Chains A and B, each alone.
Chain A
Amino acid sequence: MSCCDTDSQILEAEDRILLAGQPNAGKTSVFNALTGGSQRVGNWPGVTVERKEASCRFAKKGTTVVDIPGTYSLESTSPDEVVARDALAAFPQAVIINIVDATLLKRQLTLTLELLALRRPMVIALTMLDELAKSQIEVDLDGLSKALGVPVLAMDGRTGRGAAEVVKAAVSSLASRAPSGLPPAFSGGSGSDEARADRSRAAGAIARDNSQDNRGKTDRAEKSRGGVAVFLDRMALSPLAGPLVFLTVVFAMFEITFGLGSVFVGLFQRGLDGLGDLAKAIPQAMVASFVKGALLGGVGNVLLLVPYVFFMFLILSFLEDSGYMARAVFATDALMRRIGLNGKAFIPLIMGFGCNVPAIMAIRTIESPRDRLRTTLMVPFTSCSARLPVYVVVAGAFFGRMAGLVIFSLYLSGMIAGILTAALSSRFIAPEKGGGLVMEIPPYRFPLARNLLREAWNRTRGYLAKAGTLIFAASAILWLLMNLPLGTTPEASIIGLFGHFIAPVFAPLGFDWRLTVGLISGIAAKEVLISTLGLLAGQGAPLAAALPGMMGSATALAFLVFTLLYTPCLATLAVMKSETGSRKWTTISLLWSLILAYSASLVARLIGLSLGLSA
């Protein structure tokens, strides 16, 4: 039985609970706790850049909880913060749950004062009280509630403790339609330096009066931070060690991904082989061909590599939840400044390791429109998880023990290509003058294993869903085209003729018609590339074993480079167009990626040949 059965009867279907707060206050964790959802969380400002809605598990009648991007102030103008402001305006009847990080009480209360000025039903959920307790600081919840004139309750977003009580208070507040008011210490002005200073002073006074000692908290927090955290930051925030730590973190990410992933892939391969043996027993030749070709060769080869994708997402989630992302910004700021951006532009590049689509959306947190556009042009060169299976199979087939190093080099090369693109783009898009980096450094937090696994699974589920839909459909279509006209060989089939028609364009790179078809199919989604190669490699044979029959090592190197750099998937192009609002720049990005991919692959092949690798 939920806590608020009685009160929830009063709610109407359209009633909403709106979660508002400053960036990194823990809104999405609270959202997940209130809805039983599994939205992505992270420990840096700017994880949420769009509005999300779900039903509240603690209230009846389909009460909706709305998670909005964090905003430092209702005056802010960056696109993600405008989304937050628009959501507040869009739901004037909604009750607001203001999520406040207790460790940053003074600053977070400045937004609270702005929200109170909206005179809406409101409740405050105070998070991170456990962290505050470590600094020997206590907050007087009752005192704070009296000072602000709204209920103030403790809540732990990560464990969900206190969620039911917060919803109960919100529902009561909504039922009574009691609007909030401004505390006497604050006049409620806005829009000027004086008003902001006034708000800051009022917030400071309220925080000071209702916590044991608010002054000098920074210094005490600094001293009280754990020894390990201090040591980690001494390394991560050092001019010399910081970039080295970053490279080590990225390298370790790949080593762990491949080390753990290969154990499971071996098991999966045995399962796939077993299914292949079963398929041999199918009496109808066409059905057997479809099962072995489209299902096992196409979809099966993509599913086989799921463990690599899962572990990659698991480690990325760890980095995002631990607080390392902000340190990566610090480590790369000097490099990014050389190309007219700042370290903040590096976050989308790291997020792009997972998927380019959310990475491009994360660019909303960058204040300057011109910097946003230049960062958007960089992201497609970040190697997403969909490309990973291609690297694993091809590098594993040709470079043996060096495969890990080859793949690590590919990821670094992608980042270098992105940085090069941003540098070149500064000739056409003047870097923003007067811009600069200002960003919060969150404390390190050890992520909960449960949350990490859930996060990694959610992202892997997207990969699996694609295997069951897009990749299956693409494999089925390709299988059909490979078998038409009936009774033909793959080379003389429709897809074979198409491949032969296009292949001369790629002949200098050493790609035959099968590789060419694979690359073209990969434009839909990069995973399709593997399923296509699996299909074209011939039925029954593992893809890695069949690849040496398609190309030599030098061509394999060129193929990897091409896969790294060429056209991003259709979903990335679509989000690029919608985020930039520019068809021109999306087209330029597409053409540039093709030119760069072709040139770099040619160079890679020539270098490979000069080193004695097989053609």
Chain B
Amino acid sequence: MPLAKVPAGSYVTIDSFDFAPELRLRCQNLGIMAGERIAVLNNRKPCPLVIGAAGARLMLGRELAGRLCVTPIGCA
């Protein structure tokens, strides 16, 4: 399911994401890559999502979050 639909307080594993190469690289450098576990900390429209990845808090635009496929693995 798209990350944008995951409620705050959930943990997910990233399955795949379809971004332009430069953005894909940026995301990977920030710890957003297939197989990684991330936490959804804040998800309120129309704002960006706040996620926890590789030890950092990141904001992720809603369009990007809509193109990031994840599998929920639990709640906080």
Q: Which residues of A line the B interface, CB within 8 A? A: 72-73, 75-78, 103-107, 110, 193, 196-197, 200, 214, 217-219, 221-222, 237-239, 242, 326, 329-331, 333-334, 337, 342-343, 367, 434-441, 443
Closest residue of chain B to A111 (Cβ to Cβ) is: B29
The answer, yes or no, to whether B44 is at the interface (CB within 8 Å) is yes
Q: Is the CB of B33 within 8 A of A441?
A: no
Whether the Cβ atoms of A237 and B29 lie closer than 8 Å is: no
On chain B, the residues within 8 Å of A436 by CB distance are: 19, 23, 60-61, 63-64
Tell whether, in the assembled complex, residue A434 and residue B39 are in contact, meaning their CB atoms are under 8 Å apart: no
**Additional A-B contacts beyond A197-B28, A218-B56, A330-B50 (16; CB < 8 A):** A78-B26, A104-B55, A107-B30, A107-B55, A196-B25, A197-B35, A222-B52, A237-B47, A238-B44, A239-B45, A242-B47, A333-B47, A333-B59, A337-B46, A337-B63, A438-B59
Question: CB within 8 A of A193: which of B28, B30, B59?
Answer: B28
Residue of A nearest to B46 (CB): A334
Q: Which residue of A lies closest to B35 (CB)?
A: A197
A438 touches B56 (CB 8 A): no
Produce 1/0 per residue, B27-66, CB < 8 A to A: 1111111111001011011111010111111111111100
Q: Is the CB of B29 within 8 A of A76?
A: yes
Interface string of B11-23 (1 = CB under 8 A from A): 0000000011011
Whether the Cβ atoms of A72 and B26 lie closer than 8 Å is yes
Q: Considering the chains assembled together, what is the distance between the CA atoms of A438 and B28 in angstroms?
A: 11
The answer to whether A438 and B61 touch (CB under 8 A), given A238-B44, A367-B23, is: yes
Point out the residue from B32, B54, B61 that lies within 8 Å of A104, measured CB to CB. B54
Highest count of chain B CB atoms <10 Å: which of A104, A237, A238, A329: A237
Q: Is the CB of A441 within 8 A of B57?
A: yes
11 sampled A-B residue pairs with Cβ under 8 A: A73-B29, A103-B55, A196-B28, A242-B47, A333-B59, A343-B59, A435-B23, A436-B63, A438-B27, A438-B32, A439-B58
Quick one: given A72-B26, A76-B25, A239-B45, are A434 and B19 in contact (CB under 8 Å)?
Answer: yes
Of A75, A196, A214, A435, which one neighbours B20 at CB under 8 angstroms? A435
Chain A nearest CB from B9 CB (Å) reads 11
Residue of A nearest to B28 (CB): A196
Q: For the complex, give the distance between the alpha carbons of A72 and B24 in Å.
A: 13
What residue of chain B has the Cβ atom nearest to residue A432's Cβ?
Answer: B20
Q: How far is the CB of B15 from chain A (nearest CB, A)?
A: 13
Q: How far is the CA of A294 from the CA of B76 in the complex (A)?
A: 68
Counted as pairs of residues, one from A and one from B, with CB atoms less than 8 Å apart, the total is: 132
Partner of B64, one of A196, A221, A438, A440: A438
Chain B nearest Cβ from A233, distance in angstroms: 9
With a cutoff of 8 Å between Cβ atoms, the chain A residues found around residue B55 in the complex are 103-107, 214, 217-218, 221
Contact of B48 among A73, A106, A367, A437 (CB under 8 A): A437
A105-B55, A436-B64, A438-B23 known; A343 and B48 CB under 8 Å?
A: yes
Residues of chain B contacted by A73 (CB below 8 angstroms): 25, 29
A330, B30: Cβ atoms under 8 Å? Answer: no
Give the residues in chain B near A242, CB-CB below 8 Å. 47
B23, B46, B54: which contacts A434 (Cβ < 8 A)?
Answer: B23
The reply to whether B56 and A107 contact each other, CB–CB distance below 8 Å, is: yes
Q: How distant is A420 from chain B, measured CB to nearest CB, in Å?
A: 20
Knowing A106-B55, A367-B23 touch, does A237 contact B39 (C-beta < 8 A)?
no
Residues of A within 8 A of B29 (CB): 72-73, 76, 107, 110, 196
Q: Check if B25 sits within 8 Å of A218, measured CB to CB.
A: no
Expressed in whole angstroms, the Cα–Cα distance for A73 and B54 within the complex equals 15
Instruction: Tell me the bound Cα distance from A242 to B30 in angstroms.
Output: 24
| B32 shortest CB reach to chain A, Å | 7
Contacting B60 at CB < 8 Å: which of A72, A193, A239, A437? Answer: A437
Instruction: Please indicate which of the listed interface residues A75, A221, A331, A434 has the most CB atoms of chain B within 10 Å of its own CB.
Output: A434
Q: Which of A78, A193, A238 contacts B33 (CB 8 A)?
A: A193
| Chain B min CB distance to A463 (Å) | 34
Name the B residues within 8 Å of A334 (CB-CB). Answer: 46-47
Q: Which residue of B22, B39, B63 is within 8 Å of A218 (Cβ)?
A: B39
Q: Please, which residues of chain A bring their CB within 8 A of the CB of B47?
A: 237-239, 242, 330-331, 333-334
- Report chain B residues within 8 Å CB of A217: 55
B23: A residues at CB distance < 8 A? 367, 434-436, 438
* Distance between Cα atoms of A280 and B70 in the complex (Å): 79
Chain B residues in 8 Å Cβ range of A197? 28, 33-35
